[in-house]
């Protein structure tokens, strides 16, 4: 039988990933073991409910798998309860909010413009901004979380839930300081550590466990597992409300979800076992070394970084010294040149999320492939050459002219000889690295 067209497309996608360099901080390459679990017969089973409390028969083995995933995650993070069923980060954050808040209750989160997430209360367009009274905090003049503002807003609005978490904040999160403020107003604290979970496991980022009630994390970023999420309840959270774990479980199922994705659950169990290995510790350390090296090399080449650097796996190039709204042009040109990243707003974004002024970069994927400091310097050099190539492509201030400008810019960039020359160099280097390695 001829292979379905989808398989040909998968081969193409794998080839694309191999010959390009992935710099999106929220992506990673999974191990062959996680990958094999994801395409197993576990996908063929319904398992609504929780282990030993299912609504379908035939779940004896699925129960063992889910219990194994729970046990490994609890051990890894040293928490008394883990729910591994959320389909992804946004449903998991909604489950926490659903478990703790009533419609109209007040919650606080880091604004998107400061590197927070949509589900942390972004107004108008998200459930968290629509159904709850959302108060958003931001960054100080050094682009760090503005704890004075957090304190002021918390005292004024007395939120029931305070979220500390990020998607584009390059610095370490001070959970202890956040907790102290939350305690003054009696708020629950949720840490969304999706981006830094792998770094928390390896000790490269402080753990939120002693300071928060709940932790939410996706499992596919620095944790390097399948696309999914988990909600952890800490001892502190359980001490405050012995029913907290039960409330979380009920919010995930039946309140918000149906049957869990069993193959993903198994993938989380495998990823947790991988994260316990000494090699994973080295992986976390190398992510950080690579991030520091990439950040410094970019700055040496004259590029400006938000907050002047990074303390994690990610960094944001601030392109406003060239012109406002340059993120799309640079991210597109990088893609033409063989390196994929994403355009991103910068703190106090002067244009808009669609035409932002920054590009977000991260080192989890390149580190998984086995690249080290020397390769980071080379990548920084290529990025600087890309920026140089497109820096005069200024976004029109007239909104109606923007679409035509972008269309013309894209067509030109695809033919740009210098970008295509960089692409050949990138491909030569990238093709020497497998997608996944345990490193040396
Ligand atoms: N989409 C994720 C990221 O790129 O950071 C967050 O949900």
Task: Note the pLDDT tens digit of each residue in 299-354.
Answer: 999 999 999 999 999 999 999 999 999 999 999 999 999 999 999 999 999 999 99
Which tokens belong to 270? 């495998």
Which tokens belong to 210? 């002693």
pLDDT given at position 430: 98
**Of the residues 88, 167, 192, 195, which should be mutated to test ligand 1's pocket, given the most ligand atoms within 8 Å of the CB?**
167
- Specify the DSSP class assigned to residue 313: S
d(CA 36, CA 193): 26
Whether 46 is a known active-site residue: answer yes
User: How far is ligand 1, taken at its centre, from the CA of residue 364, in Å?
Assistant: 14
pLDDT given at position 1: 64
pLDDT at 89 over 80: yes
Whether 249 is a known active-site residue: answer no
Whether 423 is a known active-site residue: answer no
Whether 192 is a known active-site residue: answer yes
Query: Taking a C-beta distance cutoff of 8 angstroms, is the pair 143, 307 a contact?
Result: yes
Q: Is 34 exposed, middle or buried (0-12, 13-18, 19+ CB in 10 A)?
A: buried
User: How far is ligand 1, taken at its centre, from the CA of residue 36, in Å?
Assistant: 24
Task: Note the pLDDT tens digit of each residue in 375-387.
Answer: 999 999 999 999 9
Task: Note the pLDDT tens digit of each residue in 130-179.
Answer: 999 999 999 999 999 999 999 999 999 999 999 999 999 999 999 999 99
User: How far is ligand 1, taken at its centre, from the CA of residue 156, in Å?
Assistant: 30
**Of the residues 22, 23, 25, 26, which should be mutated to test ligand 1's pocket, given the most ligand atoms within 8 Å of the CB?**
26
Tell me what the pLDDT averaged over the chain comes to. 97
Closest among 383, 395, 316 to 351, alpha carbons compared: 395
CATH entry 3.40.640.10 includes domain 33-275: yes
pLDDT given at position 192: 98
Whether 417 is a known active-site residue: answer no
Which ligand 1 atom is the nearest neighbour of the CA of 27?
A: 4
**Of the residues 117, 120, 360, which should be mutated to test ligand 1's pocket, given the most ligand atoms within 8 Å of the CB?**
117
Q: Which distant-in-sequence residues (6+ apart) come within 8 Å of 165 by Cβ?
A: 109, 110, 116, 117, 120, 173, 190, 191, 192, 193, 194, 216
Q: Give CA angle at 431 (426, 433), nearest 5°.
A: 110
pLDDT given at position 3: 82
Q: What are phi and psi of 138, to 5 degrees?
A: -135, -150
Q: H/E element holding 282? A: helix 278-300
d(CA 315, CA 217): 20
Closest among 84, 88, 5 to 47, alpha carbons compared: 84
> Which is catalytic among the residues 143, 146, 192, 311?
192
Measuring from each residue's beta carbon to the nearest atom of ligand 1, which residues come in under 6 Å?
26, 89, 117, 167
Whether 105 is a known active-site residue: answer no
What helix, strand, coil percent values describe the chain, rounded to 5?
50, 15, 40
Query: Hey, is 361 helix, strand or coil?
Result: strand
User: How far is ligand 1, taken at its centre, from the CA of residue 167, in Å?
Assistant: 6
Q: Which distant-in-sequence residues (6+ apart) come within 8 Å of 326 by Cβ?
A: 319, 320, 357, 390, 391, 393, 394, 395
Q: What stretch(es) of the chain map to CATH 3.40.640.10?
A: 33-275
Which ligand 1 atom is the nearest neighbour of the CA of 342?
A: 4
> Which is catalytic among the residues 45, 74, 227, 301?
227
CATH entry 3.90.1150.10 includes domain 282-430: yes
d(CA 413, CA 393): 10
Closest Cα to atom 2, ligand 1: which residue? 26
Give the side-chain half-sphere CA count within 13 A for 43: 8
Closest Cα to atom 3, ligand 1: which residue? 26
Query: Hey, is 265 helix, strand or coil?
Result: helix
Q: Which distant-in-sequence residues (6+ apart) come within 8 Å of 344 by Cβ?
A: 168, 316, 327, 356, 358, 359, 360
Query: Taking a C-beta distance cutoff of 8 angstroms, is the pair 344, 168 a contact?
Result: yes
Task: Note the pLDDT tens digit of each residue in 187-239.
Answer: 999 999 999 999 999 999 999 999 999 999 999 999 999 999 999 999 999 99
User: How far is ligand 1, taken at its centre, from the CA of residue 26, in Å?
Assistant: 6
Query: Hey, is 221 helix, strand or coil?
Result: coil
Closest Cα to atom 5, ligand 1: which residue? 167
Which tokens belong to 288? 């950080």
Q: What stretch(es) of the chain map to CATH 3.90.1150.10?
A: 282-430
User: How far is ligand 1, taken at its centre, from the CA of residue 90, in Å?
Assistant: 10
User: How far is ligand 1, taken at its centre, from the CA of residue 58, in Å?
Assistant: 35
Other residues' Cβ atoms within 10 Å of the Cβ of residue 141:
8
- Specify the DSSP class assigned to residue 395: P
> Which is catalytic among the residues 33, 48, 241, 425?
48
pLDDT at 186 over 80: yes
């Amino acid at each position: 039988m001829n292979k379905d067209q989808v398989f040909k497309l998968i081969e193409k996608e794998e080839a694309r990933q191999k010959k390009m360099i992935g710099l999106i901080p929220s992506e990673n390459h999974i191990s062959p073991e996680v990958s094999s679990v994801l395409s197993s017969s576990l996908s063929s089973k319904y398992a609504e409910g929780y282990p030993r409390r299912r609504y379908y028969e035939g779940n004896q083995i699925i129960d063992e798998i889910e219990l194994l995933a729970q046990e490994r995650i609890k051990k890894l993070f040293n928490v008394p309860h883990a729910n591994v069923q959320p389909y992804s980060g946004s449903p998991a954050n909604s489950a926490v909010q659903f478990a703790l808040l009533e419609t109209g209750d007040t919650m606080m989160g880091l604004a998107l413009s400061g590197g927070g997430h949509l589900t942390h209360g972004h107004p108008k367009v998200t459930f968290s901004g629509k159904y709850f009274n959302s108060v958003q905090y931001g960054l100080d003049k050094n682009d760090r979380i503005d704890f004075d503002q957090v304190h002021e807003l918390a005292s004024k609005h007395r939120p029931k839930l305070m979220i500390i978490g990020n998607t584009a904040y390059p610095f370490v999160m001070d959970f202890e300081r956040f907790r102290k403020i939350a305690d003054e107003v009696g708020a629950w604290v949720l840490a969304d550590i999706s981006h830094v979970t792998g770094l928390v496991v390896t000790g490269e980022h402080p753990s939120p466990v002693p300071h928060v009630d709940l932790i939410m994390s996706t499992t596919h970023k620095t944790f390097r597992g399948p696309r999914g999420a988990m909600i952890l309840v800490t001892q502190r959270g359980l001490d405050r409300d012995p029913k907290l774990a039960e409330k979380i479980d009920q919010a995930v199922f039946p309140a918000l979800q149906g049957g869990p994705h069993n193959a993903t659950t198994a993938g989380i169990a495998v990823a947790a076992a991988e994260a316990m290995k000494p090699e994973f510790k080295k992986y976390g350390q190398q992510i950080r070394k690579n991030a520091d090296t990439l950040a410094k090399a970019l700055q040496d080449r004259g590029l400006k970084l938000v907050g002047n650097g990074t303390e994690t796996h990610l960094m944001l190039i601030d392109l406003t010294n060239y012109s406002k709204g340059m993120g799309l042009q640079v991210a597109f040109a990088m893609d033409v040149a063989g390196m994929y990243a994403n355009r991103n707003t910068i703190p106090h974004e002067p244009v808009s999320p669609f035409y932002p002024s920054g590009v977000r970069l991260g080192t989890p994927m390149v580190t998984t492939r086995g690249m080290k400091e020397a390769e980071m310097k080379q990548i920084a050099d290529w990025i600087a050459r890309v920026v140089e190539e497109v820096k005069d492509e200024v976004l029109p201030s007239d909104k109606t002219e923007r679409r035509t400008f972008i269309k013309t810019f894209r067509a030109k960039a695809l033919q740009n000889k210098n970008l295509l020359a960089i692409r050949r160099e990138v491909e030569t280097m990238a093709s020497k690295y497998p997608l996944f390695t345990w490193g040396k």
